[in-house]
Amino acid sequence: MFAHGVASGDPMHDRVIIWTRVTPTPASMPGHNSGPATDVKWKVSEDPAFQRTVRTGTVRTDADRDHTVHIDVNGLRAARTYHYRFQAGNQNRPHRSAAPAPLRCPAPRLPCGSASAHPDSLLKVHEDCGLLRGATARPGTDQSSAVGAPNDPN
C-alpha cells in the first residue's frame, strides 16, 4: 500500500503540511490515473509512541489526486517536534517527525558576491562567500552564492 515515501514541509508557527502517497493496486502507480479510492488515516502526536495524540483524521484519495494525501495540520505549538504517521487498509506507514516554525524567525542572512566587473576575481568572491570546494557558508550565514563567469576563453 505504501510504496512511496512520506514528507513534511511548509512549516508555519502553528501548522505543517504532511504528505504521503498510497498504491492500493499494482496499476495505481504514479501517473497511471487508475486504481480505487482509498481512505487514509493520519495521526499527529507529541511523542513517538503516539500516546499523546494531538490531531487525527481520515482523508479519501483517488486516481484524480494520483493517490496522494496532503494534510494541513493546524493547531500545533511553534518550534516543537511532532510525530506523524499514516494508515491505509491494514498497513501503517512508519512514523516521521516534523516541526512548525518558531514564532519569530530571524531574517535570513544570504550574502551574494559578484565578479562580473572583475573577471579575475571570481575565485576571491567564491572564497569570501565560502563557496570553494569543501567549504561551507561563512559562519553566521544561512546560504551563500556568487554570480559571474570566470575569465575563460573556451
DSSP structural state of residue 137: P
Per-residue pLDDT at 133: 44
121 within a domain of the structure (yes/no): yes
41-45, 46-50, 82-86, 103-107: least confident range? 103-107
154 within a domain of the structure (yes/no): no
Residues 71 and 117 in one domain: no
Residues 11 and 69 in one domain: yes
Per-residue pLDDT at 132: 45
Residues 91 and 121 in one domain: no
pTM of the model: 0.66
103 within a domain of the structure (yes/no): no
- Taking Cα atoms as reference points, which of 123, 81, 127 lies closest to residue 100? 81
Q: Which amino acid is at 58?
A: T
Structural domain for 31, as ranges: 6-98
- Give the total number of structural domains in the chain: 2
105 within a domain of the structure (yes/no): no
The answer to whether the beta carbons of residues 58 and 72 sit under 8 Å apart is no
24 within a domain of the structure (yes/no): yes
For the chain, give the percent of residues with pLDDT over 90.
Answer: 34
